[in-house]
Amino acid sequence: MPNSPLIDIDHVTFGYDASRTILNDVSLQFQRGKVTAILGGSGCGKTTLLRLIGGMFTPNRGRILFDGQPVDTRDKDALFRLRRRLGMLFQFGALFTDLTVFENVAFPLREHTDLPETMIRDIVLMKLNAVGLRGAAGLRISQVSGGMARRIALARAIALDPELIMYDEPFAGLDPISMGVAANLIRQLNDSTGATSLIVSHDVQECFMICDYAYLMSSQGKVVAHGRPEELNASEHPEVRQFIRGEPDGPVRFHYPARPLAEDLQVPA
């Protein structure tokens, strides 16, 4: 259905073990053809959301719908078909260091299609051209910079023309120029391909430059606020304001909850 969200996360609760809940009854929707940012500090469950969408784990409660169909980790055939429809840009690229730039981008095409090598060659060169690195096709990964490696990983992520592209901290470790290049690429590729893009990040300004909508997650694994960038920028909610402005004092505390220090150090009264 064209007007329905591509991804619908419906009252999902999840923890990797019984000792800690990572996501606490969260509901989010990601609209088709849009760039949506999932913002929040480290440990708030942003990357966990991507893993659940990709079917790596099953929610403890709630459900995840991809194009109206539940993501079922028990149905391996359906899971394989779902993963063919998505591309993933990992936080640090996850490139194959023993392969050339060309071979890295060609890998998903060779793994998941029966295309002839001549067609694979043309597709790889077009994807590399889209990220400005066609001239680097013959280089080894050890010969490229961190910013170039991120763009190579992006070319690989879009090799199969996915409907959904998920970006895990795409701006981490990049210099300001590379960060701007990466942000512009995400927006341009989304608009030119008609894909749906999810960006997990804590880089507020870069995300607000290119996203259509954003969710802000709290350290308790809940959705604190959501809306268009201009709406979140204007929010007076204390936690939203603290995160967006990077203020050290506010609802989000520096110290993880703990007993008084004197108790742990066994200081005599």
73-92 average pLDDT score: 83
Kindly state the DSSP code that residue 27 receives in the 8-state scheme: E
Which pLDDT does position 215 carry in this prediction? 93
121-145 average pLDDT score: 90
Q: What is the pLDDT of residues 144-200, one digit of tens each?
A: 888 888 889 888 988 888 899 999 888 877 778 888 888 888 898 888 888 899 999
The structure's pTM equals 0.81
Q: What is the pLDDT of residues 192-225, one digit of tens each?
A: 888 899 999 888 888 999 999 999 988 788 898 9
Which pLDDT does position 213 carry in this prediction? 94
Q: How many whole angstroms separate alpha carbon 74 and alpha carbon 69?
A: 14
Which domains are assigned to the chain? 1-85+164-169+204-249 (3.40.50.300)
Alpha helices by DSSP H, listed for the chain, are 46-53, 76-84, 101-112, 117-130, 146-157, 176-193, 204-210, 229-233, 238-245, 261-265
Helices 101-112 & 117-130, crossing angle to 10 degrees? Answer: 130
Could you report how far apart the first and last alpha carbons of the chain are, in Å?
A: 67
Kindly state the DSSP code that residue 223 receives in the 8-state scheme: E
